[in-house]
Chain A
C-alpha cells in the first residue's frame, strides 16, 4: 500500500491541481495537492497518483559518494558514528 515510485515532472497545471509525470516512459497525470509548489524537471515520489515528496537529488548523490568513505574508514564506520550525511 505504501509503495511509492519515482517519476520526473513534465508539466504542471496548478488550476487543475495536477502534473503530468514520467515514470521512465509511462506518462500519467498525478495530483499535486500535497506538494503544490512542485516544478517541471524535479524528481518526485508518487503514491496512489499523488506527489508526496521531492526526491532530494543532491542528498542522494552525496550519500552515494559516502558509500566509499563508509568502507574505507574501518573504525568509525557509517560516517563517524552512524550515517554519512548526518
Chain B
C-alpha cells in the first residue's frame, strides 16, 4: 500500500463536491445556524488551505478554538525559563535550552527565546525531545533543559523520553512542562458559554486519548463530536455528520479518523503520561486560569523539573498581549483574524505582534499564509 493510495480519495474533488452538496441540503432544514468549533491548528490549516469556509452555506460556521499549544503557553512560563537561564549563568553554570521552532519565537514583554539566544545563551531549536536527549548524552557535564509545550500528542513523547531517561539514569536531562489537556480545556470554554454547538475533535490528540477521552463532553453538555482526519474530505465529512447529529440531538462521539484512532487510544502512552505527570490548574495565555488542565511532573520525579532546581521570581502583571491584539478572542472562536486591527498591517509572520501570528498552527499565521486578506 502506498501512502498516496490512502490519502488520494480524501483529497478528491468529486467526492468533495458531493459532500458540499449534501452539507448544503442538510443546512436548509437547520433551525438557525450551527457553530462548529475545531481545536487543532492542523485542522485550521486544512480548512483555510482548502477554502472550506467559502464552500459552506451561511448558517454553517466553522470557528477555530485554542488549538495551538504554543499560542496559549503563558508569558509567565516563558519569562521564568529565561530567568532560570540567567540565574544559572550567574551561578556559574550554563544551561543548554531546547524547544520547538515556533516556541522559540513567541514574543513576551521580556523578549523571546530567540532574543535570549542573541544575548549569547545556548538556546537550540529541536524537532523532537529525542534530540534533547541526544544533546544531553553528548554533553554530560552540562544541564540540558527542554521547554516542553503541547497537547496530549506531544505530552506522550515527553513522557516516553522521561521514561527512558529515568531507566538510563541520565542525570543532566531536565524539562520545563507547559503541557495542557485538550478536552478539559474545551470543557472550560463550554462552561464559559463560548457558543459551541458541535466539535471537530483533534485527530492526533485522539490517537493518544482515544474516542473515550472525549465522551464526557457529549455526556455532560450534549455536544455532538466527530474525530476527524486532516485531509479536506475528512473535514467536510465531519461537518456533514455534525450538522445531522446536531439536528437530531444526537450527542455522542463519532470516529471519522478510524485509520489512526482507536476507541481506547494509545494505552501505553496514557500509562506513561499518568506515571510521570499530575494534573494541575494552569493558565492559558490570553484566556485565564483553567482548572485541571495543566500537567506538571509528579513529586517523585521533581529532580527532573528545572523549576525545582532554580527558583526564580517572575515579575507580576506582565501583559499577555500587545494593546489591540485579538489573539484571545481568536482562540475562543469569537473573532476571526481579519477582525483584528493589527492583522496583516503591524502584525505579520515576519514581525508578529501576538502569539497567534507566530506559530504555524496559529490561526492568524494560517490566514495570512493562505492569503485570506487578499
Contacts and interface: CB of A to CB of B under 8 A. Distances in A.
Contacts of A63: 258-259
A52 B204 contact: yes
15 contacts: A1-B359, A2-B203, A2-B204, A3-B42, A3-B204, A6-B3, A33-B157, A33-B163, A34-B266, A45-B204, A49-B128, A50-B157, A55-B259, A56-B259, A71-B15
Contacts of A64: 6, 9
Interface stretch (B80-88, B145-153, B295-303, B329-337): B145-153
Interface string B187-212: 00000000000000011110110000
Contact of A33 (B42, B150, B164, B259): B164
A10 interface: no
Interface in A16-70: 17, 24, 29-31, 33-36, 43, 45, 47-50, 52-53, 55-57, 59-61, 63-64, 67
B260 interface: yes
Given A53-B207, A56-B258, A48 B3 contact: no
B237 interface: yes
Most buried by B among A52, A57, A85: A52
A3 to B, nearest CB: 5
Contacts, number: 142
Nearest to B10: A64
Contacts of B15: 67, 71
B41 interface: yes
A28 B347 CA distance: 36
Interface string B352-365: 00000001010000
A83 B130 CA distance: 38
Nearest to B130: A49
Interface residues of A, number: 38
A49 B157 CA distance: 8
Interface of B: 1, 3, 6, 9, 15, 18, 22, 40-42, 67-70, 100, 102, 127-131, 149-151, 153-154, 156-157, 160-161, 163-164, 202-205, 207-208, 237, 240-241, 244-245, 254-256, 258-262, 266, 268-269, 272, 359, 361
A1 B151 contact: yes
Contact of A57 (B1, B70, B156, B163): B1
B153 A83 contact: no
A53 B67 CA distance: 21
Contacts of A56: 258-260
A75 interface: no
Contacts of A52: 153, 156-157, 204, 207-208, 266, 269
A1 to B, nearest CB: 5
B204 A34 contact: no
Nearest to B134: A29
B153 A43 contact: no
Given A45-B207, A48-B154, 4 more contacts: A1-B100, A33-B163, A49-B130, A63-B259
Contact of B260 (A17, A30, A45): A45
